[in-house]
Structure 1
Amino acid sequence: MTKLRMGVIGAGLWGTNHAHTFNVLPETELVAVCDIDEGRAQKMKESSGAAFALTDYEALVSRDDIDAVSVATPDFTHTPIILAALKANKHVLSEKPLATTVREAEKIVEAAAASRGKLMIDFHNRVNPILAQVRTMVQSGEIGVPRHGMARLSNTTFVPFEMLSWAAKSSALWFLGSHLVDVLRFILNDEVVRVYAVTRDGVLKAGGVDTRDFHLCILEFAGGAVVTMENSWILSPDNPSLVDFKLELVGDKGQIQADPTHNGGLRRMVEGGLRYSDYIGMTPTGETRIGGFVLESIGRFVDAVVRDAPLLADAMDGLANTKVLAAIEASAASGKAVDIA
């Protein structure tokens, strides 16, 4: 069988997940990795077994021995890389968000339509077993017509202060809200038509990270549901998990409460407190299989290219997501509700 020849752009935490998946799946071959930091690119090459390590993404996407690329770089860097790859007719898997401005997202949609390559956005919570089940419950009518709800996806200060070197160039809204907006669109199978948002800063700036502390939003959906949404980067580092993820939906016949934050069945009392270990997102498997929804979503990209399976999320999903996030920023800046065309 001819293997799908892959290149991974971005040698950070998520790029490592991409490289691992493409090394394990029998349908793929990891040819090259790329990062602007040469040392990091070389380190990933050595750990992943890729044949080449590059520092220029244009050099990677122009290679004839690469069929597809994955983009695992910071939020605000995706657009030029995706455009270059699509122009070269490569298949593209991009981490979220698709882009950080509506115009950039529209350019990508246009480029995807003109390219022979497929474009998928890695909204991996679409295959999170908890959230996939919530979608099934809602779409089957278990709670009737969704009327209102709340959604929280926030991080402790560890993320902006220690985990992300580029946090000042992003925010909890773009880093986390991109996931949460997609989750809500996916579960409700509906579009956001109006937003109202409030934001504050000060805590992160005082610590040397010049970005917003949090965004609190009200999302109105076309079908009538209203959901309050929180994305914060200032949760206490004493939390047992650096992520706090909660979702509740109330319908006219019932309600659903979901807590995908942690895996409560496996707990550790170490490091001065309670810690949860993940056994859903990342699951050990055999040598030629991947496990857990984090890697499963990357595998869905391979399925889409190799087997012509449906894309987990396409360019239009990415554009819709960016439109909502941009509207939230506009609303927070103006103090007024913003309609989404």
Structure 2
Amino acid sequence: MSKLRMGVVGAGLWGANHAHAFNTLPETELVAVCDVDETRAAKMREATGAAVALTDYRALIARDDIDAISVATPDFTHSPIILAALKADKHVLSEKPLATTVAEAEEIAAAARASKGKLMVDFHNRVNPVMAGLKAMVEEGQIGLPRHGMARLSNTQFVPFDMLSWAAKSSALWFLGSHLVDILRFVLADEVVRVYAVTRKGLLAAGGVDTADVHQSILEFSKGTIVTMENSWILSRDNPSLVDFKLELVGDKGQVQADPTHNGGLRRVGEGGLRYADYIGVVPTGSTRIGGFVFESIARFVDSVVRGDPLLADAEDGLANTRILAAIETSAASGRAVDLS
């Protein structure tokens, strides 16, 4: 069987994950990499062994030797790349969020319905073992009907100040809330019908990153569950992990608590104090396999294209996600609740 010929758009940290997966899976071949920075594109080509390095995603999409692309560019840049690929009937794996405006997300969803190519959004926490276990508990009725809950997905200040050069053009809501909203929809198998949110700004802006410090949101679901959600970019750098991820649900028969923030079995104490290492997101494997839920999510895209398996998350999931995040922004700006029904 011929291999699925891949192109990766975006030569940053997550683009490197995509390239590694496509270089390792036996069903795929990494043909080309693309980045607006020519030097970065060239370095990625050299590191991955891809045949071609490009600076224009349109040139990549136009190639006859590309069957599918993955989009690992900043949050606010996804839409034109995805639309061009779908118009060319290429398969597309996009990092979250699908788009940062509802109009763009609606346009993408319509394009996905019309295209011969498949579109998957890389909501990789759907295959995070902790979250998969949480979903199973809820589905099996172990806590009864979920009545209320709290969810936190926040970063230390390292992320907006040091890790992301484009943080001022995004926020913790779009960068992290997109994951959290999706996993709540996934675990509860329910839709958000109403949101109320507040935000605060000051610390990041004073440091030269002009975006919100934190969004605090209340999400009401159609079956009655109420979840309080936090997305912050100002946690202390002294935290043992740059991410803090917690989810608790209280039902009428019990409650469940998930903390996939870190893997406490592997700890390092040294300069900077206590630090946790990840050993479930990315795990070592043999030369023809990938491991951990980060890579597993990418592999699910390949499974769908090559074998016809269901997409892990499709364009409609991406659209629903963007609608909720946009409603949170509207609520925070207006000081009023926003209905999505």
TM-score when scaled to structure 1? 1.00
The 3-state SS of whatever aligns with 1:186 is helix
Partner of 2:322: 322
Shift of 1:271: 1.9
Show the counterpart of 2:108: 108
Kept in 1, the 8 Å contact 2:214–2:231? The answer is yes
Aligned-pair CA distance for 1:272: 2.8
- In the aligned structure 2, how far is the partner of 1:48 from the partner of 1:237? 32
1:270 deviates by: 1.6
Once the two structures are superposed, residues 68-99 of structure 1 have per-residue CA deviations (whole angstroms, 9 ceiling, x without a partner) of 00000000000000000000000000000000
State the partner residue of 2:236.
236
Secondary structure at 2:26 match in 1: coil
Q: In 1, Cα distance between the equivalents of 2:25 and 2:52? A: 19
Residues matched between the structures, number: 341
Paired position in structure 2 for 1:185: 185
Secondary structure class of the residue paired with 1:325:
helix
Q: Which residue of the partner structure matches residue 79 of structure 1?
A: 79
SS of alignment partner, residue 210 of structure 2: coil
In structure 1, the gaps of 5 or more residues are none
Structure 1 runs (4+) greater than 2 angstroms displaced? none
Provide the rounded CA distance (Å) in 2 between the counterparts of 1:268 and 1:4. 40
| Cα deviation, residue 303, structure 1 | 0.2
- Distance in 2 (CA, whole Å) between partners of 1:14 and 1:278 is 16
CA root-mean-square deviation: 0.4
Partner of 1:259: 259
Alignment of 1:264-283 (within 5 A): 264-283=264-283
Partner SS, residue 143 of structure 2: coil
- Please state whether the residue corresponding to 2:30 is helix, strand or coil: strand
Matched residue, 1:7: 7
Cα distance per residue 1:233-274 (max 9 Å; x no partner): 000000000000011000000000000000001100022300
1:18-39 per-position Cα deviation (integer Å, ceiling 9, x unaligned): 0000000000000000000000
* Residue 89 (structure 1) aligns with: 89
Partner SS for 1:253: coil
1:195-230 deviation line (CA, Å, top 9, x unaligned): 000001000000000000000000000010000000
Q: Is the 8 A contact 2:238 2:272 kept in 1?
A: no
> Which residue in 1 is equivalent to 2:31?
31
Following the alignment from structure 1 to structure 2, what is the Cα–Cα distance between the partners of residues 304 and 84? Answer: 21
CA-to-partner distance for each residue in 1:1-60, whole Å, 9 max, x for gaps? 200000000000000000000000000000000000000000000000000000000000
**Distance across 1 between alignment mates of 2:85 and 2:211:** 30
Structure 1: distance between partners of 2:331 and 2:166: 24
